[in-house]
């Protein structure tokens, strides 16, 4: 079956082949049996529904994706996400109040037939059985520029995991520190990973959740830095609406997601402290 895939917006993981489109149908359209509109973000659902109607003038259309709680086909390699990225599991056993993974995907489930790739997108790989993680690490050996972009759980990191990571050509590995209490686990993880340079150790940091102030957000970001990680700030967005943050919030998120700017700021702060 020839499938056109349509996306409401382009991200770094949007496929770029001739049967993948972002937005409205072009004047010259390929032959296809069906159009699949794939939507990741809940705030794009209205646009996705409009696109389904627009493409529906020319083809049968189905609409799905994480925003519509439709997952299985999303894990077909290269269909709705670029080649190189793979999901070896989905779901999560944690129930963090700001996260949708456990609400939408349920508890951790291991993908027994995961595709090869050098970018692991799992929500919580370290919650999987060791036999599964062993298979994942074995698949990654020999690959270059490996990324764990889904996020590794600092609370679950063990020395044996660090030994596995040392055996790989790591480009970057993401952790998460979305609340103040998680900083202690992140520091422990930082100690275990002290042989890796900061540029390879990234950390998602949620900003603006539960009435957090700007000063609290900045202090939390600095704590993540001093734990040995490069922060990657993300402004909290609730499931069914999009918050329009002020310039101050947008600025702090921009600054603390760009390594070059962060390095300059923290270097100047260190000089000021010494003086």
At 239-251, the pLDDT tens digits run 777 889 999 999 9
Predicted confidence (pLDDT) per residue in 24-33, tens digit: 999 999 999 9
> What would you report as the CA-atom Rg of the chain, rounded to the nearest whole angstrom?
20
The mean pLDDT value of the chain amounts to 90
Q: Which residues of 148-165 are buried (b: 16+ CB within 10 A; e: fewer)?
A: bbbbbbbeebeeebeebb
Predicted confidence (pLDDT) per residue in 157-194, tens digit: 999 999 999 999 999 999 999 998 999 999 999 999 99
Q: Assess whether pLDDT exceeds 50 at residue 152.
A: yes
Q: Assess whether pLDDT exceeds 80 at residue 274.
A: no
The residues near 39 (Cβ < 8 Å, ≥ 6 apart) are 7, 8, 45, 47, 48, 63, 64, 65, 66, 67, 68
Bridge-partner residues for 34, per DSSP? 3
Distance CA 220, CA 207 (A): 9
Q: Assess whether pLDDT exceeds 80 at residue 143.
A: yes
Strand order in the sheet with 3-7: 20-22, 3-7, 34-38, 61-64
The residues near 244 (Cβ < 8 Å, ≥ 6 apart) are none
Predicted confidence (pLDDT) per residue in 11-20, tens digit: 877 888 899 9
Distance CA 127, CA 153 (A): 8
- Contact status, residue 127 vs residue 155, Cβ threshold 8 Å: no
pTM (2 decimals)? 0.82
Distance CA 227, CA 246 (A): 28
| Domains of the chain: residue spans and CATH | 1-70 (no CATH), 71-274 (3.80.30)
Predicted confidence (pLDDT) per residue in 74-127, tens digit: 556 667 777 788 889 988 999 999 888 888 888 999 988 888 899 998 999 999
């Amino acid at each position: 079956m020839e499938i056109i895939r349509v996306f409401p917006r382009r991200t770094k993981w949007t496929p770029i082949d001739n049967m993948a489109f972002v937005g409205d149908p072009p004047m010259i359209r390929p032959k296809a049996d069906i159009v699949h509109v794939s939507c990741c973000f809940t705030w794009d659902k209205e646009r996705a529904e409009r696109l389904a109607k627009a493409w529906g003038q020319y083809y049968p259309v189905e609409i799905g994706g994480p925003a519509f709680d439709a997952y299985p086909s999303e894990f077909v390699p290269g269909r709705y996400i670029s080649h190189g990225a793979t999901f070896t599991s989905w779901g999560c056993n944690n129930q963090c109040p700001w996260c949708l993974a456990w609400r939408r995907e349920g508890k951790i489930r291991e993908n027994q037939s995961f595709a090869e790739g050098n970018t692991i997108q799992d929500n919580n790989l370290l919650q999987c059985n060791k036999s599964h993680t062993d298979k994942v690490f074995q698949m990654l050996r020999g690959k270059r520029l490996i990324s764990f972009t889904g996020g590794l759980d600092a609370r679950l990191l063990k020395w044996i995991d660090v030994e596995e990571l040392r055996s790989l050509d790591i480009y970057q590995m993401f952790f998460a520190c979305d609340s103040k209490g998680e900083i202690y686990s992140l520091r422990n993880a930082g100690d275990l990973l002290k042989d890796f340079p900061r540029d390879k150790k990234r950390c998602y940091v949620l900003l603006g959740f539960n009435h957090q102030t700007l000063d609290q957000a900045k202090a939390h970001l600095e704590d993540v830095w001093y734990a040995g990680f490069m922060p990657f700030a993300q402004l909290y967005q609730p499931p069914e609406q999009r918050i329009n943050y002020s310039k101050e919030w947008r600025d702090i998120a921009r600054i603390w997601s760009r390594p070059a700017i962060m390095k300059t700021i923290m270097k100047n702060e260190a000089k000021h402290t010494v003086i």
